[in-house]
Amino acid sequence: MRGGRRVASGEWRVGKIAGGEQPAQAPFISRQALIANGRSPLTTCHSPLARHPERGAVNIYFIVIAGTLLFGFMFFAVDFGRLYLIQAELQTAADAAALAAAKGLVGTANSTVHATQQLNASFDNTDAGDNRVNLRQNQLGAGASGFDPQISFDFFSTRTDALSAGGSGGATGADAKYVRVTMSVQVPLFFGKFINTNLLNQTVVASAVAGMSGPVCSACGIDSLAVVDPSGGSDPVNFGLSPGNFYTLYLTNSLATSTGCNVTAPSALNGTDGNILLEYTVLNRTPAIQQSDPDSTLFSLGAGGMQQADSVVIGQPETPAADSYSSCPGQEILCGLNTRFGVDSSLNACGDGSIAGGLFVTIASQYMADTDVGANTYNAGVGLQDFATEYDLDDAPSNLRRVLTVPLVDSVDSLNVVNFAQFLVEPSDTVSEGVDPSLNTGAFRAQYITTLSGSSPVPLRCVGSGGECNVQFGAGRTVLH
């Protein structure tokens, strides 16, 4: 070969030729040549691992350590993911239990008893609708197995105490306005125990506080009897009324004159405040159970209030109901109110043909009575039942059918809504049951119910949308805090 020379080892080296030194090149050497020169063909592969065998050991160590860490993270991800899932389920259960209990806090003597019943009902598994954890595999209430669930609750008179860990609890009766529910479970870990033998279980805790919200500006599904503010706007808290006092409510003359029922302010009914009589009118609204004629519509507004789709907004004006009826509208309203007492319309003027031709006998059956009709002699007199101490004393909670949530208006002419108020309809002392439908004034007795802070005690069933107001006292709804 040109410019080359052979060396003793049998390899070729490229010599110096014109143009300078050429890179050395090694030609192919056969297996036989290697063996003939005393070299093993197995040692001629210049592999990095062959020259540095410790590199392979390092790679193995790295794989082992990285794999251990990776699987460790995976194990922790499984355990922590499961804990977060159960914590979210437990919080949902605590929220539901608190809301259920808070709905029972209506300002009566038995309110905490009934609130406790409703709280326990949220964990009742008889209908498979109870709140559970661990993808609904584990119960939380009575009969629970596994996870050792613990449930505690307390009642409070103020929101501040309910939200404070050291708040003063133990509120009872009408003083109880808020409830705090605390729950915990012991969750067994799948992989944590292999890393630390003390990590057999992890405690998961959830807490919820529920109670009355602040005053709302819009309410729906309430009663359509609009009461005129007797204070003329001078008292934004109680509107000139005394909490717990009994008052006479009567229908305004402007709604009754078209039917020949000339209504004037009546004398105060027996046992009610003689200085303040509350004038009311009926708003032009659709009743909860729609009817096809004006008489039945007016009756139904007295029996069950307006439909849930109808909202009344503070600061906005309303329109009065139609003024064409076959009988005195005050009597038709009283016939509707009597359904709240479970009065059989066929046994009085509401069904004997004297009022609206006996039209109400059939539709009266569409409405249920209050579970507490108040047909007793109470401390204040016959039928005058005190809401806070004498109403809703049965084992089962009342359905509150006799509680009216009404809009307060500035006058029967302008009908500008200024707030909402609540009254307990009282039975008359001149008839054996319910209110007296013979009064063409539409007069009946009712107790003004409110808390010491000026809030309505019974939560609203429905809150409307829209509306802006600056009221600091009034009706609210049950919410989480």
pLDDT along the chain (481 residues), means of 10: 48 48 57 62 53 62 68 68 86 94 95 94 77 76 80 94 90 93 88 63 93 93 97 95 97 76 87 96 94 94 94 95 88 97 92 91 94 93 95 90 97 96 97 94 96 84 80 92 95
The one-letter amino acid at 337: L
Assess contact for 402 and 425: CB atoms under 8 A.
Answer: yes
Among 212, 236, 253, residue at a domain's last position: 212
Same-domain pairing of 179 and 198: yes
Same-domain pairing of 432 and 290: yes
Same-domain pairing of 248 and 351: yes
Same-domain pairing of 193 and 300: no
Task: Give the three-state DSSP class for 28.
Answer: coil
Structure tokens at 475: 């009706």
Question: In this predicted structure, what is the pLDDT of residue 84?
Answer: 86
HSE at residue 232, side-chain half, CA atoms within 13 A, is 1
The domain tally of the chain equals: 2
Question: In this predicted structure, what is the pLDDT of residue 68?
Answer: 65
Same-domain pairing of 162 and 89: yes
Assess contact for 133 and 147: CB atoms under 8 A.
Answer: yes
Range of the domain at 184: 58-212
Same-domain pairing of 264 and 334: yes
Same-domain pairing of 66 and 157: yes
Same-domain pairing of 230 and 189: no
Question: In this predicted structure, what is the pLDDT of residue 111?
Answer: 95
Asked if residue 353 is part of any domain, the answer here is: yes
The one-letter amino acid at 151: I
Show the DSSP H helices in 143-218 as ranges.
159-163, 192-195
Asked if residue 101 is part of any domain, the answer here is: yes
Q: How far is CA 131 from the centre of its chain?
A: 15
Among 150, 178, 212, residue at a domain's last position: 212
Q: Closest by alpha carbon to 102, among 215, 213, 214, 210?
A: 210
Angle between helices 294-304 and 329-338 (to 10 degrees): 40
Among 160, 185, 212, residue at a domain's last position: 212
Question: In this predicted structure, what is the pLDDT of residue 14?
Answer: 47
Structure tokens at 64: 């082992």
Same-domain pairing of 143 and 258: no
pTM score, whole prediction: 0.81
CB neighbourhood size of 307 (10 A)? 17
Asked if residue 90 is part of any domain, the answer here is: yes
Asked if residue 251 is part of any domain, the answer here is: yes
Question: In this predicted structure, what is the pLDDT of residue 27?
Answer: 59
Same-domain pairing of 187 and 224: no
What residues have CB less than 8 Å from 83, skipping those under 6 apart? Answer: 187, 202, 204
Alpha carbons 312 and 316: distance in angstroms, whole number: 8
Alpha carbons 208 and 464: distance in angstroms, whole number: 25
Same-domain pairing of 149 and 223: no
Same-domain pairing of 122 and 269: no
Asked if residue 453 is part of any domain, the answer here is: yes
Alpha carbons 420 and 448: distance in angstroms, whole number: 12
Assess contact for 218 and 398: CB atoms under 8 A.
Answer: no
